[in-house]
């Protein structure tokens, strides 16, 4: 029962993301456009390039969608409203998200096209820049909660949300999440206007529809992770818990989709330098600070 | 927690298989609408309409390999940090010092790599 509710919520969230992204890109809010463009993609030919690596080509979009849903499975919407309340939820989230890289490299390698391959390799560089900034802030969150279970992590924030307890970790995690979901200004693998679509270049028709759907699920899962780890999950006054989770997730996704577009795209070399020369020292300092606070103060 | 760990992983497996089934049923549905028509030049990858001069599947110079090597050591370290973070508050100051020394050595390694030029595009 929980699974059905969460999947339906997820479907509505995906539709909302499509509307917001249309608004951010085209400057118009259109409630029907996502449905129409999905139908249009569905009716179009789904071409296969000349000499593809068929297995990788087909597996890319499917793996991406599976990864997004598995990441979503450990995000709690309310007490008890979660697909699987694993004791190692935060670690499982990490493990699932590592496969985003694999899926994108497969999608880039598969079609045997130049632009797609460049998109795939670029994402590998981007991965090396952001990956540690996903794992290290989560460690600091787990230190405070004394658990890797996502529901325990939420209840550990009853007195003070982690966004105030460890603001450095929050900023790093949000930036890393945007890099993981290749949102602008960190949209190197598909880079609209630069790579002819990057790893998306050779996908058409229903395969492209699955690829785009998977990307939206991943954006939503990252917003869910930010809300769970830093913004107190379902905690909040007056309204029921599930409503709080949904409101927070929608605010986070809207912010992630719209604000990044105001900044020019970051080059891969600059992203790597910023991630390792600034991001990792800050993440280590964050772990140390949280360690000291967790020993001194009892919250 | 009413479900056992095994049951939870069974749910995750079911979710995976269900997703794969969903995608394949979408593909099947799209195929009933119509198949791709084969026309000359349609199956050329997006390279301005002609076949690329050079092959795509070749060895690339990964210019960020300095970062990649450092990434390996940091990624190994994270495997130790997850169990440590769970018992951190029970162990107290000892845990902070233990991991502090470990992280300090690793951070010195990062600084050394930086000074030797590992952190730039090669």
For residue A150, give the nearest of A98, A95, A92 by alpha carbon: A92
At B49 the pLDDT is 67
pLDDT digits (tens, 9 = 90+) for B66-106: 888 888 888 888 888 888 998 888 888 888 898 889 888 88
At A64 the pLDDT is 93
Task: Answer yes or no: are the C-beta atoms of A231 and A248 closer than 8 Å.
Answer: yes
Task: Answer yes or no: are the C-beta atoms of A72 and A220 closer than 8 Å.
Answer: yes
Distance in angstroms (rounded) separating the CA atoms of residues A215 and A240: 29
* pLDDT band with cut points at 50, 70 and 90 for residue A265: confident
Mean pLDDT of A224-250: 89
Q: What is the 3-state secondary structure (H, E, C) of chain B?
A: CCCCHHHHHHHHHHHHHHHHHHHHHHHHHHHHHCCCCCCCCCCCCCCCCCCCCCCCCCCCCCCCHHHHHHHHHHHHHHHHHHHHHHHHHHHCHHHHHHHHHHHHHHHHHHHHHHHCCCCCCC
Q: What is the mean pLDDT of chain A?
A: 89
At B3 the pLDDT is 61
Task: Answer yes or no: are the C-beta atoms of A215 and A207 closer than 8 Å.
Answer: no
Distance in angstroms (rounded) separating the CA atoms of residues B74 and B64: 15
Put simply, the answer to whether B45 touches A116 (Cβ < 8 Å) is yes
Distance in angstroms (rounded) separating the CA atoms of residues A46 and A112: 16
Mean pLDDT of A81-108: 89
Mean pLDDT of A252-258: 91
* pLDDT band with cut points at 50, 70 and 90 for residue A67: very high
Q: What percent of chain A has pLDDT over 70?
A: 100
* A202-211: b (≥16 Cβ within 10 Å) or e: bbbbbbbbbb
Q: Which residue has the higher pLDDT, B60 or A179?
A: A179
CB-closest option in A50, A84, A131 to B8: A84
Q: Is B86 on the interface with A (CB under 8 A)?
A: yes
pLDDT digits (tens, 9 = 90+) for A267-294: 888 899 999 999 999 999 999 999 899 8
A194: Cβ–Cβ under 8 A, 6 or more apart, which residues?
Answer: A265
* pLDDT band with cut points at 50, 70 and 90 for residue B2: low
Q: CA A208 → CA A53, A72, A112, A122, A275, distances in Å?
A: 17, 21, 17, 20, 31
Using the predicted structure, report yes or no on whether residue A105 has a pLDDT greater than 80: yes
Chains A, B: CB contacts within 8 A come to 177
Using the predicted structure, report yes or no on whether residue B54 has a pLDDT greater than 80: no
Put simply, the answer to whether A113 touches B56 (Cβ < 8 Å) is yes
Query: What is the signed CA dihedral for A198, A201, A206, A210, rounded to 10 degrees?
Result: -10
* pLDDT band with cut points at 50, 70 and 90 for residue B1: very low
Mean pLDDT of A32-43: 87
Q: Which residue has the higher pLDDT, B30 or B47?
A: B30
At A104 the pLDDT is 92
Put simply, the answer to whether A202 touches B114 (Cβ < 8 Å) is no
List of chain A residues whose C-beta atoms are within 8 Å of the C-beta of residue B51 = 50
Helix axes A89-109, A114-145, angle to 10 degrees: 180
Distance in angstroms (rounded) separating the CA atoms of residues A167 and A241: 24
- The complex's ipTM works out to 0.88
At B48 the pLDDT is 66
Q: What is the mean pLDDT of chain B?
A: 84
Task: Answer yes or no: are the C-beta atoms of A45 and A204 closer than 8 Å.
Answer: yes
Mean pLDDT of A59-87: 90
Task: Answer yes or no: are the C-beta atoms of B67 and A276 closer than 8 Å.
Answer: yes
Domain ranges in chain A are 2-296
Distance in angstroms (rounded) separating the CA atoms of residues B122 and B65: 8
Task: Quote the minimal CA–CA distance from B16 to chain A in Å.
Answer: 6
* pLDDT band with cut points at 50, 70 and 90 for residue B53: confident
Put simply, the answer to whether A85 touches B30 (Cβ < 8 Å) is no
Query: What is the signed CA dihedral for B44, B47, B48, B52, rounded to 10 degrees?
Result: -80
Q: Is A134 on the interface with B (CB under 8 A)?
A: no
* pLDDT band with cut points at 50, 70 and 90 for residue A33: confident
Predicted TM-score (pTM) of this structure: 0.92
Task: Answer yes or no: are the C-beta atoms of A169 and A137 closer than 8 Å.
Answer: yes
Using the predicted structure, report yes or no on whether residue B25 has a pLDDT greater than 90: yes
């Amino acid at each position: 029962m929980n699974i059905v509710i969460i999947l339906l919520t997820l479907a509505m969230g995906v539709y909302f993301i499509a509307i917001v992204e249309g608004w951010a890109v085209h400057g118009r809010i259109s409630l029907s456009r996502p449905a129409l463009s999905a139908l249009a993609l569905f009716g179009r030919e789904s071409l296969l390039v000349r000499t593809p690596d068929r297995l990788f080509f087909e597996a890319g979009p499917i793996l991406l969608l599976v990864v997004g849903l598995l990441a979503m499975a450990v995000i709690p919407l309310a007490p008890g409203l979660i697909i699987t309340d694993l004791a190692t939820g935060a670690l499982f989230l990490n493990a699932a998200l590592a496969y985003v890289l694999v899926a994108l490299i497969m999608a880039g390698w598969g079609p045997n096209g130049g632009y797609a391959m460049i998109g795939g390799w670029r994402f590998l560089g981007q991965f090396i820049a952001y990956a540690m900034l996903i794992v290290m802030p989560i460690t600091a969150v787990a230190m405070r909660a004394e658990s890797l279970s996502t529901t325990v992590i939420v209840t550990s924030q009853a007195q003070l949300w982690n966004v105030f307890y460890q603001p450095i970790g929050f900023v790093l995690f949000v930036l890393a999440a945007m890099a993981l979901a290749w949102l602008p200004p960190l949209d190197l693998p598909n880079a609209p206007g630069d790579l002819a679509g990057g790893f998306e270049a050779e996908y058409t028709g229903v395969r492209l529809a699955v690829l785009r759907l998977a990307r939206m699920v991943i954006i939503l899962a990252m917003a869910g992770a930010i809300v769970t780890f830093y913004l107190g999950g379902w905690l909040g006054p007056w309204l029921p818990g599930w409503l709080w989770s949904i409101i927070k997730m929608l605010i986070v996704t809207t912010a992630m989709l719209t604000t990044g577009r105001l900044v020019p795209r970051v080059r891969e070399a600059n992203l790597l330098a910023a991630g390792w020369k600034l991001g990792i020292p800050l993440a280590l300092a964050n772990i140390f600070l949280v360690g000291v606070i967790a020993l001194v103060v009892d919250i | 927690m009413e479900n056992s760990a095994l049951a939870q992983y069974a749910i995750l497996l079911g979710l995976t298989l269900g997703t794969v089934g969903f995608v394949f049923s979408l593909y099947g549905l799209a195929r009933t609408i119509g198949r791709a028509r084969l026309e000359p030049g349609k199956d050329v990858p997006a390279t301005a309409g002609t076949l690329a001069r050079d092959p795509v599947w070749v060895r690339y110079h990964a210019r960020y390999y300095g970062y990649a090597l450092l990434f390996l050591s940091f990624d190994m370290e994270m495997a130790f940090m997850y169990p440590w973070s769970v018992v951190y508050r029970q162990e107290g100051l000892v845990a902070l010092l233990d991991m502090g020394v470990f992280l300090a050595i690793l951070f010195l390694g990062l600084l050394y790599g930086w000074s030797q030029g590992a952190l730039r595009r090669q």
